[in-house]
Amino acid sequence: MKRNLILALCMACSLGTMKAAQTQKVEPVDLVNTFIGTSNFGTTNPGAICSNGLMSVVPFNVMGSNENKYDKDSRWWSTPYEYHNIFFTGYSHVNLSGVGCPDMGSLLLMPTTGKLNVDFHDYGSRYKDEVARPGYYSNFLLKHGVKTEVTATLRTACERFTFPKGESHILLNLGEGLTKESGAMVKQVSPTEYEGFKLQGAFCYYAQAVFPIYFVMRVNKVPESMGYWKKQRERPDNQAEWFPDRGTFKLYTAYQKEIAGDDIGVYLNFNTKENEVVEVQIGVSFVSIANARENLNAEQKGKDFNDIAQEARQKWNTDLKQIEVEGGTKDEQTIFYTALYHTLIHPNILQDVNGDYPAMESNKVLKQHEGNRYTVFSLWDTYRNLHQLMTLLYPNRQRDMVKTMISMYDECGWLPKWELYGRETYTMEGDPSIPVIVDCWLKGLRGYDINKAYTAMKKGATTDEKHNPLRPDNNEYMAKGYISLRDSFDNSVSHALEYYVADNALSRLAKALGHKEDAKLFYKRSLGYRNYFSKEFNMLRPITPNGKFYKPFNPLQGANWEPSPGFHEGNAWNYTFYVPHDIYGLAKLMGGKERFISQLQSVFDRGNYDPTNEPNIAYPYLFSYFKGEEWRTQVLTHKLLKAYFKNNPEGLPGNDDTGTMSAWAIFSMIGFYPDCPGEPAYTLTSPVFDKITLHLDSKQWGKDKLVIETKRSNPNAVRIEKMEVDGKPWHNYRISHSDLVKAGVLKFTLK
């Protein structure tokens, strides 16, 4: 009897445990698949990073090897990792995510076994058992029998290597990376600590944007011996086309305390027991070695690897829970939370724990006294949607980003265009700081000097091109209202279209601040796109210096990355509808609503929509400006999400562009999109999920959450039948930011 009672109690406990496990809520952090976008030129990576953190630790598998499927020379790539590659040569520290140009990706740390060899062609290894989640990555190196694990704090990395028995090594390769800068210095300061710096920069081959990254590295075990190496380059005439020369390596013993130059590194030798663990800590700074050490001391003192990994996980989960979704498929939830994860990688904090940061475009070191100083402003991409997402969900971070941009003006005299660790790269077109700051101000985000910002914006918009690094061709633009095609393959139309968007935003701010004449001037400028409109093609078309349209004109020229007269990374189809501030005016030029809709629909029907090209990513939302055509937006957004966003390494349509493509997916999945940068409003579409809860900052927006509920007539319903805001009918397919954050509950009924 007693035995049966015990068995019954055990079974009940077991069933209760099973039931609890089955009903346990899945946390957002567990739904992230960090391998999404790591192929198909998405250029994301599965490395360890904290949200908006300076440090990222990424598996590096794009160095020259004929074993790799896609890459034979890292200098051809803008990412340290490609999912289908198999040749691992270490972990790189401080990396960019989703970009299209090579930069960063250095300080390569590699565990090896057997006889010491410092040539990456020889010590590189195939690997298996990849595990990746926010804040953590691991693999197993087949050649060396080493399990590797990495995690990160905001400014430091912690790496754990489990070695087999025998001769083992840890190599810090300071010569190789994603770019051609190979200069470095490293110095031993104790048996377990090393310090130095590595040159970085030249993003998109802009040679002036070069700067050092400082580091301090510690190991938790005293090596049996250590030393340095330097590569002695050889350049035979018959060098293989794809491979950098291997050269020879000269080794230096530990009697030499430091080494500097090109292509150098440091090696640590160990005699390890079976499954012996060696941990490595690396702190970085863009100010000094001393600050790198201070960062390391502050962020890892008293913590082990597991502590740091758990903290990173908790930080990510807190940030990801700003949006909670219910319904949809498991894949859709994974795509969504991975997209949110990707939008929280850049921009990154720049200041050290003591507040020091490198001033913009100078050698000065300044102090951040409150909030965060940010870096990596890929603004040509992110001004379209990512900063709008930050404003809505993380307003304190976005406020600090705006304050950072204004501080950059204080420090160098100009707002940023494509800033990277305190250097301006001048990549891409336009004047993209303007719509970002204007959008924030018009939505009610305060806490910065808007009058100073306006002065900075006006300076960029009105200064002649000789003294204006932000706006090439500004003289002709100001005089004629357009930029002519001076070279067969320049980007004249793209330049001007970006200026129109910026000037429209500037006009809105000028009006809000009471600068009536400025508002009129910039609004008039924003309509200059009409100069490019060709009735013959019903499209925008380049203009030659004599004021006539360019001939012969092929609207498709520029597809598939071929050079295109007047258009950057695209063609006339990808740019013609990029006048988000004057959609009705464009429709009038095209001959009215019907012709506009027909022309826009043909972009999708003929396969001319480019999901990787920012200027046309808002195209699906433009249908909703016209009564009776809104259903096209709803059908298209669902169709495009299914076609281009998937739960696999190829799951992004192309470069994520520091979170821009992911931000498009997030907005499209929750049911609204900011299709006109600088206008505080959104276009509505049908959500993917049944219930979405956006947790808002109540101090900023007046309410602590926005709930979006969707009722479907059938599982495949995507067309909106009716909408309600706080229980009242809503008949407009656009909603202001103010109405959205005050809504409380937004309900969709789909048919």
Q: Could you tell me how many helices (H) and strands (E) the chain has, helices first?
A: 20, 35
- Tally of CB atoms within 10 A around 411: 16
Q: Is 532 exposed, middle or buried (0-12, 13-18, 19+ CB in 10 A)?
A: buried
Q: Which of 317, 339, 354 is the last residue of a domain?
A: 317
Is there a single domain that holds both residue 81 and residue 168?
A: yes
Query: How confident is the model over 83-116, as pLDDT tens digits?
Result: 999 999 999 999 999 998 888 899 999 999 999 9
- Cis peptide bond prior to 552, omega within 30° of 0: yes
Q: Is 432 in the same domain as 497?
A: yes
SS3 for 449? Answer: coil
pLDDT digits (tens, 9 = 90+) for 115-125: 999 999 999 99
Structure tokens at 313: 């996980």
CA angle 310-659-744, nearest 5°? 80
106 close to 212: Cβ distance less than 8 angstroms:
no
Whether residue 347 has a cis bond before it, omega within 30° of 0: yes
Say if residue 189 is exposed, middle or buried (CB neighbours under 10 Å; 0-12, 13-18, 19+): middle
Give the pLDDT score at 7: 39
The position carrying tokens 């050092």 is 212
CATH of the domain at 624: 3.30.2080.10
Of the candidates 7, 109, 122, 2, which has an alpha carbon nearest to the alpha carbon of residue 59? 109
**pLDDT score of 4:** 44
User: Nearest CA to 599 among 538, 509, 659, 654?
Assistant: 538
Q: What is the DSSP string of 325-381?
A: EESS-HHHHHHHHHHHHHHTTSSEE-S-TTSEEEPTTSS-EEE--SS--EE-EEHHH
- Let me know whether 375 and 245 are in one domain: no
Specify the pLDDT at position 235. Answer: 52
Residues 223 and 340 in one domain: no
Strand, coil or helix: 717: coil
| 288 and 341 assigned to the same domain | no
Considering the domain boundaries, does residue 1 fall inside one? no
Which of 291, 317, 343 is the C-terminal boundary of a domain? 317
Report d(CA 709, CA 317) in Å as an integer. 23
d(CA 375, CA 371): 13
Q: Check whether residue 184 and residue 255 sit in a common domain.
A: yes
Residue found under tokens 């250095």: 106
Query: How many residues are recorded in the chain?
Result: 751
**Are 277 and 412 within one domain?**
no
Angle subtended at Cα 364 by Cα 359 and Cα 366, rounded to the nearest 5 degrees:
60
Contact predicate 576/539, CB 8 Å: yes
Q: Partners of 171 in the beta sheet?
A: 110, 267
Instruction: Let me know if residue 14 belongs to a domain.
Output: no
62 domain residue, yes or no: yes
In a domain, 23, yes or no: no
Residues 227 and 288 in one domain: yes
Encoded tokens for 389: 């997402």
Q: Report yes or no on 22 lying in a domain.
A: no
Query: How would you classify residue 615: left for phi > 0, otherwise alpha for psi between -120 and 50, otherwise beta?
Result: alpha
* Pairwise CA distance, residues 232 & 48, whole Å: 33
Residue after which a domain boundary falls, among 270, 302, 317: 317
Residues 6+ apart with CB under 8 A from 255: none
Determine, yes or no, domain membership for 597: yes
Q: CB-side exposure of 325: number of CA atoms within 13 Å?
A: 26
Residue 2 within any structural domain of the chain: no
Cα torsion at 256, 258, 262, 263 (round to 10°)?
70
**139: its two tokens:** 């693999």
**Is 664 inside any structural domain?**
yes
pTM: 0.94
Torsion of CA 56, 677, 471, 532, to 10 degrees: 130
Q: Are 330 and 306 found together in one domain?
A: no
Regions of the chain where pLDDT drops below 70: 1-24, 65-67, 69-76, 205-207, 233-247, 254-255
Torsion angle (degrees, nearest 10) of CA 451, 363, 152, 177:
120
Tokens of 273: 């027991």
Give whole-number Cα distances, 19 to 30, 171, 580, in Å: 20, 49, 52
CATH number, domain at 49? 2.70.98.10
Domain count, the chain: 2
Both 581 and 676 in one domain: the answer is: yes
Which tokens hold the place of 517?
């004449």
pLDDT tens digit string along 472-504? Answer: 999 999 999 999 998 877 899 999 999 999 999
Same domain for 696 and 718?
yes
| Residue (of 144, 74, 68, 65) closest to 111 by Cα position | 144
- For residue 607, what are the β-bridge partners? none
pLDDT of residue 8: 43
Are 569 and 488 spatial neighbours (Cβ–Cβ below 8 Å)? Answer: no
- 510, HSE (Cβ side, Cα atoms, 13 Å): 22
pLDDT at 515: 98
Residue-range definition of the domain harbouring residue 521: 322-750
297/370 same-domain check = no
Instruction: Give the C-alpha separation, 187 to 304, whole Å.
Output: 25
Cα dist from 106 to 55, 74, 330, 361, whole Å: 12, 11, 36, 22
Return the beta strands (E) in 507-624 as ranges: 533-534, 539-540
pLDDT tens digits, residue range 310-352?
Answer: 999 999 999 999 999 999 999 999 999 999 999 999 999 999 9
